[in-house]
Amino acid sequence: MLTDFYISFSAVCFTLLGLWLIVVQTRHGEWRESPLHRRRAYGVATHFSLPGLMSLLALVDPASSALWRVSFAIVATGGVVALIALRGPAPGRFGHTAYGLAMALYAMVGILAIAPGIATGLMPGTAPVRAEAILLIILVFAGVNVAWLLLFEGAPSVRPPTGTAPAHWVSQPHHHDAYPRELARPAQWLGTTGQG
């Protein structure tokens, strides 16, 4: 088991996730009204959180191959399902390519966890856990690039439906309209009866 690698890799993944959450917080005003941008932001979060989760699970018992195989298979399958459900690739050809690549990488991680003999068959002399590590590195790298694309993408402005307006668009009553009426009754305004 690549214990030292997964210790460092999990720290990198969760650091990137924390940075991404800061980006989402700064763009929250633009993205909260756009379901597509919310799905894209969540998709980027999976690029960092799921590989970090797999790394932590691999460290629970480094001597147990069954543990990392089962955990990697479950988390990778969850990654594929999540990306299919989100339907939120980044804009442009590169964004769509990175989205498809991420799903393919999650699928490959899951397949290698279920059938680790494939790794030694395709790459003789390579342990399945090392092949998994390479796939996870590529997955996180793709996530960084997608995050970069979304960071500079503008969200469309959302207008309220016809006939409605947000509270800050509704004109407030002007205080000067009431001012002359108060002056017309100076006695009441001053709290006196107006009699000597």
Sign of the torsion angle spanned by Cα atoms 126, 127, 132, 133: negative
pLDDT tens readout for residues 13-62: 999 999 999 999 998 888 888 888 889 899 999 999 999 999 999 899 88
Predicted confidence at residue 1, as pLDDT, reads: 59
112-113-116-120 Cα dihedral, nearest 10 degrees: 50
8 with 57: CB under 8 angstroms? no
Q: Is the distance from CB of 56 to CB of 5 less than 8 angstroms?
A: no
In degrees to the nearest 10, what's the CA dihedral of 81, 82, 87, 89?
A: -110
Residue 179 gets which letter from DSSP? H
Which whole number is the average pLDDT over 84-113?
A: 89
Can you read off the two tokens belonging to residue 182? 């108060």
Residue 110 has pLDDT above 50, yes or no: yes
Query: Tell me, what's the pLDDT at 20?
Result: 94
Average pLDDT, the chain: 80
Look at the alpha carbons of 37, 40, 44, 50 in this order and tell me if their dihedral is positive or negative.
Answer: positive
Q: What is the structure's pLDDT at 25?
A: 92
Pick from 66, 139, 128: nearest CA to 106 = 139
3-state SS assignment for residue 159: coil
Residue 137 has pLDDT above 80, yes or no: yes
List C-alpha distances in Å: 76 to 48, 53, 107: 12, 10, 6
pLDDT tier at 104, thresholds 50, 70, 90: very high
Contacts of 194 (CB under 8 A, 6+ apart): 186, 187, 188
67-71, 173-177, 178-182, 192-196: range with highest mean pLDDT: 67-71
What residues does each domain of the chain span?
A: 3-151
Q: Measure the CA–CA gap between 154 and 34, rounded to whole angstroms.
A: 11
Q: What's the CA gap between 189 and 196, in Å, rounded? A: 16
Rounded Cα gap, residues 86 and 32, in angstroms: 16
